[in-house]
Amino acid sequence: MTELTQQDLSARILTSLSALRTLVSTVDDAAAAEPSALPGWKRAHVLAHLDGFARAATRQLDTAGADEPFPMYDGGQEGRDEAIAMTALMRAGALVARTDESLAALEASIRGTSAGEWVLATGFRGGGSVHDLFYAIWRELVIHSSDLLLGHSVADWEPAFCAHLFEELAVRVPESRRYVLQPHGAQRISLGEGEDVTVLSGTDFDLAAWLAGRKPLGPVQATAGADGADLPELGPWPSGQKARN
């Protein structure tokens, strides 16, 4: 994948933020109580997660380069999960307002990040750079926009985003395996270095959705040797948070 410049990545993030805020604004009490694309989570849980992530990411951007970076989430994984469960209990109007407020604050911090701060360390993944965090923000916004099931789907994932996921999520391939992705009309992409090879074919967004643990819209076909095969296993998300990115 060609690395995006800060300007290009920021532009994509801001576009995704605007689209997500529009989706969030449509959620009422009935919609908040309906299931999302994530097993066990209603839309209210996705909003609560977006709110918590936006606040965490904003704090990281605003304190980047500190001698002792803040952890991404107070209380770690357990604190994150508890906050999601509690925030999801809010009335939809209050939850929507809270989520929009946190997304607006994140937008302000993104706009206020200078080129010189791109390499500063944060508490994201224990010392990841602002550059790393920007990519994480992009992933969260785009993927969870689809998870809300409000008209945005994995088919809206642009090729550059899919290419980023192929690179970012290659670590999900088990050590003994190698997955060769064959997007329709594009060059093959080899993930992993194992000797047990599976070829997976489909649209770029369906392959990216599968790799991200989401349900593809169309078929993803797997073959091993000359034979058809079941879709292979995947390891945990790179952050180590197995539940939901």
Q: Which residues neighbour 121 within 8 Å (Cβ) at sequence distance 6 or greater?
A: 64, 65, 69, 127, 128, 129
- The domain 159-229 is placed in CATH, from the list 3.30.1050.20, 3.30.360.10, 3.40.50.2300, 3.90.1720.10, at 3.30.1050.20
The amino acid at 168: E
Per-residue model confidence as pLDDT tens digits over 108-121: 999 999 999 999 99
Q: For the domain bounded by 6-152, which CATH number is listed?
A: 1.20.120.450
Name the residue ranges covered by the structural domains of the chain.
6-152, 159-229
Q: Is the per-residue pLDDT at 240 higher than 60? A: no
pLDDT band at 237 (very low <50, low <70, confident <90, very high): confident
Q: Select the more confidently predicted residue: 116 or 238.
A: 116
- Please tell me the pTM assigned to this model: 0.94
Q: What is the largest CA-CA distance in the chain?
A: 55
Distance CA 232, CA 245 (A): 20
Q: Is the per-residue pLDDT at 98 higher than 50? A: yes
What is residue 1's predicted lDDT score, i.e. its pLDDT? 58
Distance CA 234, CA 180 (A): 14
Q: Is the per-residue pLDDT at 238 higher than 90? A: no
Q: Is the per-residue pLDDT at 239 higher than 90? A: no
Per-residue model confidence as pLDDT tens digits over 15-58: 999 999 999 999 999 999 999 999 999 999 999 999 999 999 99
Task: Give me the chain's average pLDDT, please.
Answer: 94
Task: Tokens 């911090």: give the residue.
Answer: 109
